[in-house]
């Protein structure tokens, strides 16, 4: 693996990015796995972090090919939008977002913890409430471009908390402000043979370069994941790989020194079967910082075209 100073990287990064494949048309797209979330057994008088409670922060994925600005806010349920059996939350301040405004690069995520604080009011015992989170991308002059609505369902426990529980109120951890990037963000490997380990860096000069612009050493995790987890748009004539494990980083955990870049190879091994010959397969490599309280993911797109 090679290390390079970030100061010497700018022009080379631009050149590598220019070589990466592009979708046929520019697009604006945003997606979230935070659709409808039900949180049960909430106690009055206590405060909860959805990240700590159910490992589910609000995640917003930029699926387009340009950076976007995103705004998120907690809103009362609109008229006619209540789910059967639920009440409109009495006060939207029960639910807060750790972050409201994001600038998100293509194939990057915006992440915010969701903090729920239930008032210590016995009248709330055993009731169910709904609140919505509205996230939208904002263009020039404050014009909205695309939006997503998330539904949060709160089930209040019918039993009041003990004195001990009230004394152990949740203390919120701040989301770490650590950034990183991958260069390039996509690559194409042509004429890849089947039935053996194939090193893309050695054979096709393709690799993932992790940029750590922070003033501390960081550890990054790289994983090949199924595209259904992120639903990135497929380039024309390309299909999702039947098995994401056909591509693997040479190392899953990579340490990168402060203000440095480290390069890691990708290894491809596709079974030698007739149905896999002459195909174009799409892979997604997810990268995140292990030191982050709430990991944010950056995605590398890889197209592998197999030999006929």
pLDDT tens per residue across span 195-244: 999 999 999 999 999 988 888 888 999 999 998 888 888 989 999 999 99
Distance CA 131, CA 39 (A): 12
Q: Domain 30-167: which CATH class?
A: mainly beta
Q: What percent of the chain has pLDDT over 70?
A: 84
Higher pLDDT, 89 or 140: 89
List residues bridging with 161 in a β-sheet: none
Q: Is the pTM of this model over 0.95?
A: no
Residue 199's SS3 state is strand
Q: What confidence category does residue 274 fall into, taking pLDDT thresholds of 50, 70 and 90?
A: very high
Distance CA 260, CA 245 (A): 28
- 178, pLDDT greater than 80: no
What would the two tokens of residue 244 be?
């994401």
Q: What is the pLDDT of residue 202?
A: 95
Q: What is the pLDDT of residue 244?
A: 94
Q: What confidence category does residue 289 fall into, taking pLDDT thresholds of 50, 70 and 90?
A: confident
| Percent helix, percent strand, percent coil in the chain, to nearest 5 | 15, 45, 40
What mean pLDDT is reported for the chain? 83
Distance CA 242, CA 226 (A): 8
**pLDDT tens-place string over residues 42-98:** 989 888 888 888 888 899 888 888 888 999 999 988 878 899 999 999 998 899 998
Of 179, 304, 176, 200, the closest CA to residue 250 belongs to 200
Residue with tokens 């998330």: 150
Q: What confidence category does residue 174 fall into, taking pLDDT thresholds of 50, 70 and 90?
A: very low
**Ranges for all domains in the chain classified under CATH 2.60.40.10:** 3-20+184-306, 30-167
- 268, pLDDT greater than 90: yes
Q: What is the pLDDT of residue 6?
A: 43
Contact, 281 vs 238, CB < 8 A? yes
CATH architecture label of 3-20+184-306? Sandwich (2.60)
């Amino acid at each position: 693996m090679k290390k390079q100073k970030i100061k010497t990287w700018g022009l080379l990064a631009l050149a590598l990015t220019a070589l990466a494949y592009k979708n046929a048309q520019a697009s604006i797209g945003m997606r979230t796995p935070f659709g409808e979330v039900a949180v049960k057994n909430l106690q009055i008088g206590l405060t909860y972090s959805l990240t700590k409670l159910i490992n589910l922060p609000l995640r917003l994925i930029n699926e387009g090919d340009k950076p976007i600005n995103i705004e998120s806010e907690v809103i009362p349920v609109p008229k006619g939008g209540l789910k059967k059996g639920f009440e409109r939350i009495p006060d939207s301040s029960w639910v807060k977002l750790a972050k409201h405004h994001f600038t998100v690069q293509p194939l990057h995520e915006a992440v915010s913890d969701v903090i729920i604080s239930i008032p210590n009011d016995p009248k709330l015992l055993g009731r169910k409430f709904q609140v919505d989170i509205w996230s939208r991308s904002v263009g020039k002059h404050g014009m909205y471009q695309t939006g997503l609505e998330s539904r949060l369902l709160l089930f209040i426990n019918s039993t009041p908390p003990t004195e001990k529980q009230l004394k152990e109120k949740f203390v919120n951890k701040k989301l770490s402000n650590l950034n990183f990037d991958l260069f390039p963000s996509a690559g194409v490997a042509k004429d890849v043979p089947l039935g053996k380990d194939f090193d893309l860096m050695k054979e096709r000069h393709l690799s993932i370069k992790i940029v750590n612009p922070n003033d501390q050493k960081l550890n990054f995790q790289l994983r090949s994941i199924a595209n259904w987890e992120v639903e990135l748009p497929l380039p024309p004539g390309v299909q999702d790989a039947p098995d994401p494990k056909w591509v693997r980083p040479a190392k899953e955990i990579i340490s990168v020194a402060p203000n440095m870049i480290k390069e890691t190879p990708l290894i491809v091994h596709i079974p030698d079967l007739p149905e896999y010959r002459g195909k174009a397969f799409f892979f997604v490599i997810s990268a995140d910082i292990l030191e982050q309280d709430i990991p944010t993911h950056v995605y590398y797109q890889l197209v592998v075209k197999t030999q006929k």
